[in-house]
């Protein structure tokens, strides 16, 4: 169960922000962040000192259709890279003081990688262009992996969890999920992912349209959408969102894949929305549409399109800034006003 935010504490926090030595509202989104964190943690003086990024990894049968600029093998190679601390997200997580947790919920990589938590539900999804990517039970099992991961991190004292992922081909299911759950025209939701050319972009749109025609996912049933046109790491991240919100932990949504996962969780349990923060605006067109569907406003715009949780980790200091301002700024009363 996801609890409602502490409304009385939020009211108290709003009052405090208004008493700080600045014109009311002048710290913009930082004020909203501070007030919402107060509501999440049940204190006017919240903390995001304990931070983690969960990188869920999975492979995709749909790569057989040629929808990515890179082969599936890159997923496993990047898992080794994460474990070695040398991927983009590792560098940024070190700078921002976040622990990196890499979870293999469904890659095709069969070798054991020290430092990668092995929770494989299956070795990659089936090709969603010809049938369901997963069974409902497989999607539920992947959700549970994420939920348990978030529950454990929260029990360990982590106060904010960033959503990271790795899975060659995963912008394809992300756009499919966006199309079904937002009802937006598919043509406006397909992007270049790892950097595909014009012809491949057009092919990718056709592949996703075929996936929707063949699977007929039910927009009223987010689990059906997730199983039929989603991915194992997307399901894992949706589980992280549910588990974090259930534990009262804030979540930083990353790019388009993380947003597809968050939107899926949001449709399963709308109360998770209050726990979500959007880090940045990705170059992928489906990102903006999905964030809007969750009424989230991105903090950064850096023309990023990497994933892994890189944007989400970059936004952690902004959450910290909100917590410091409310704690350290003087009030008008302090000034004798
Ligand atoms: C070396 C490398 C590192 C990455 N890290 C994240 N992604 C990102 O790109 C992939 C999605 O794009 P598409 O759908 O076009 O395959 C995902 O793995 C995503 O995390 C990467 C991609 C590559 C190639
Ligand atoms: O928005 C993202 O996070 C993204 C975009 C392209 C490829 N991989 C990730």
Arithmetic mean of pLDDT over the chain: 98
| CATH 3.40.50.10210 boundaries in the chain | 51-320
Examine the pLDDT at 337 and tell me if it is beyond 90. no
Any residues with Cβ below 6 Å from ligand 2, and which?
171, 193-194, 254-257, 282, 284, 287, 305-307
**pLDDT at residue number 210:** 98
Q: Which of 289, 218, 281, 211 is nearest to 253 (CA)?
A: 281
Q: What is the largest CA-CA distance in the chain?
A: 70
DSSP string, 137-154: HHHHHHHHHHHHHHHHHH
Which residue of the set 65, 138, 165, 308 is catalytic?
Answer: 308
Q: What percent of the chain is predicted at pLDDT more than 90?
A: 100
Any residues with Cβ below 6 Å from ligand 1, and which?
68-70, 74, 78, 165-172, 193-194, 306-308
Q: Encode pLDDT of 239-289 as tens digits.
A: 999 999 999 999 999 999 999 999 999 999 999 999 999 999 999 999 999
The atom number, within ligand 1, closest to the CA of 77 reads: 1
pTM value surpassing 0.95 = yes
Q: How far apart are CA 279 and CA 172, in angstroms?
A: 21
Interior/surface letters 255-270, b for 16+ CB within 10 angstroms, e for the rest: bbbbbbbbbbbbbbbe
The helices-and-strands tally (H runs, E runs) of the chain is 13, 6
| CATH 1.10.1610.10 boundaries in the chain | 7-46+323-328
Residue 269 is among the residues annotated as catalytic for this protein = no
Instruction: Look up the CATH number of domain 51-320.
Output: 3.40.50.10210
Alpha helices in the chain (DSSP H): 7-19, 29-41, 73-83, 88-96, 136-155, 171-182, 198-215, 222-229, 232-247, 256-268, 285-293, 310-314, 316-328
Examine the pLDDT at 20 and tell me if it is beyond 90. yes
Are 149 and 240 in contact by the 8 Å Cβ rule? The answer is yes
Would you state the structure tokens that stand for residue 48, as one six-digit string? 């995001």
Residue where the block lists tokens 């601390």:
85
Query: 152 pLDDT band (50/70/90 cuts)?
Result: very high
Q: Encode pLDDT of 167-207 as tens digits.
A: 999 999 999 999 999 999 999 999 999 999 999 999 999 99
- DSSP label at 76? H
Q: Which of 20, 53, 22, 16 is nearest to 38 (CA)?
A: 16
Cα(167) to ligand 1 centroid in Å equals 6
Would you state the structure tokens that stand for residue 139, as one six-digit string? 């999607």
Closest C-alpha residue for ligand 1 atom 20: 166
Q: How far apart are CA 315 and CA 307, in angstroms?
A: 13
Q: How far apart are CA 206 and CA 185, in angstroms?
A: 13
Q: How far apart are CA 94 and CA 295, in angstroms?
A: 30
Closest C-alpha residue for ligand 1 atom 10: 168
Are 29 and 314 in contact by the 8 Å Cβ rule? The answer is no
Q: Which fold has domain 7-46+323-328?
A: 1.10.1610
Are 39 and 5 in contact by the 8 Å Cβ rule? The answer is yes
């Amino acid at each position: 169960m996801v609890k409602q935010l502490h409304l009385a504490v939020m009211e108290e926090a709003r009052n405090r922000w208004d008493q700080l030595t600045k014109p009311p509202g002048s710290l913009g989104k930082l004020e909203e962040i501070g007030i919402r964190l107060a509501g999440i943690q049940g204190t006017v003086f919240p903390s995001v000192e304990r931070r983690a990024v969960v990188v869920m990894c999975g492979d995709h049968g749909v790569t057989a259709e040629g929808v990515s600029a890179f082969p599936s093998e890159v997923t496993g190679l990047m898992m080794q890279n994460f474990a070695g601390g040398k991927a983009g997200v590792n560098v940024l997580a070190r700078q921002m003081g976040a622990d990196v947790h890499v979870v293999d919920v469904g890659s095709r990589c069969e070798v054991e990688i020290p430092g990668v938590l092995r929770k494989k539900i299956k070795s990659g999804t089936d090709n969603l262009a010809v049938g369901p990517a997963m069974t409902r039970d497989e999607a539920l099992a992947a959700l549970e992996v994420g939920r348990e991961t978030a529950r454990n991190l929260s029990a360990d004292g982590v106060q904010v969890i960033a959503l990271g992922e790795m899975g060659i081909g995963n912008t394809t299911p992300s756009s499919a999920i966006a199309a079904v759950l937002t009802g937006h025209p598919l043509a406006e939701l397909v992007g270049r992912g790892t950097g595909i050319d014009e012809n491949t972009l057009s092919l990718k749109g056709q592949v996703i349209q075929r996936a929707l025609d063949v699977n007929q996912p039910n927009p009223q049933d987010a689990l059906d959408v997730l199983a039929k046109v989603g991915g194992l790491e997307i399901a894992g991240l949706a589980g992280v969102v549910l588990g974090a919100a259930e534990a009262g932990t804030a979540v930083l949504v990353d790019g388009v894949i993380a947003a597809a996962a968050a939107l899926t969780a949001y449709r399963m349990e709308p109360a998770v929305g209050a726990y979500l923060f959007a880090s940045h605006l990705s170059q992928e067109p489906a990102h903006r549409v999905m964030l809007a569907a969750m009424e989230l406003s991105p903090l950064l715009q850096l023309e990023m399109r990497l994933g892994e949780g890189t944007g989400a980790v970059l936004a952690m200091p902004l959450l910290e800034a909100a917590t410091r301002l409310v704690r350290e700024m003087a009030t008008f009363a302090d000034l004798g006003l």
